[in-house]
Amino acid sequence: MEGFGFKAPELKVFTMPTCSSCPAAKQIAIEVAKKLGLPYREVNMNTQEGLAEGIAHQIMSTPSIVLGDEVIVVGRLISKERLEEEVRKRLEKWRARASSEKRDENLGRC
């Protein structure tokens, strides 16, 4: 993603059609992703692919939200402010890691 200096992680919301909190979780995640310039994707755990992806993240309840490979919340609704705060914290870690990897890569070229 532009502006990060690294490929931005995807913000994913794991949902089920029967989940009453999922529409609100989706809307919150969409707004946070848009505000922070992140890619967003809904993962429907009612499909084989979605269930497999959920299991890979050890997610068995919805709504759940994941940034890249880091689980932020499982099985409950989170406020937009709290989600944004959690995502920003994790983005700082990603940015530091990407910066460190780039520095190491540049040192290897000398």
Residue 14 CA to residue 6 CA, distance in Å, equals 24
Q: Which residue has the higher pLDDT, 43 or 110?
A: 43
Residue 31 CA to residue 35 CA, distance in Å, equals 6
User: Which is the CATH superfamily of the domain at 11-108?
Assistant: Glutaredoxin (3.40.30.10)
Question: How is the chain split into domains, by residue range?
Answer: 11-108
β-bridge partners, 84: none
Q: What angle do CA 42, 24, 54 make, to 5 degrees?
A: 35
- pLDDT average, residue stretch 75-98: 92
Which residues are CB-neighbours of 106 under 8 A, at least 6 positions away? none
Residue 67 CA to residue 80 CA, distance in Å, equals 14
Q: Which residue has the higher pLDDT, 5 or 88?
A: 88
Q: What strands, in cross-sheet order, belong to the sheet with 40-44?
A: 40-44, 11-15, 64-67, 70-73
Residue 25 CA to residue 77 CA, distance in Å, equals 6
**pLDDT bucket at 65, cuts 50 / 70 / 90:** very high
pLDDT at residue number 6: 60
pLDDT at residue number 35: 97
pTM across the whole model: 0.83
- pLDDT average, residue stretch 72-96: 94
pLDDT at residue number 52: 97
Using one digit for the tens of pLDDT, what is the confidence trace for 3-60? 555 678 999 999 999 999 999 999 999 999 999 999 999 999 999 999 999 999 999 9
Q: What angle do CA 58, 50, 74 make, to 5 degrees?
A: 40
Find tokens 């068995």 and name the residue.
60
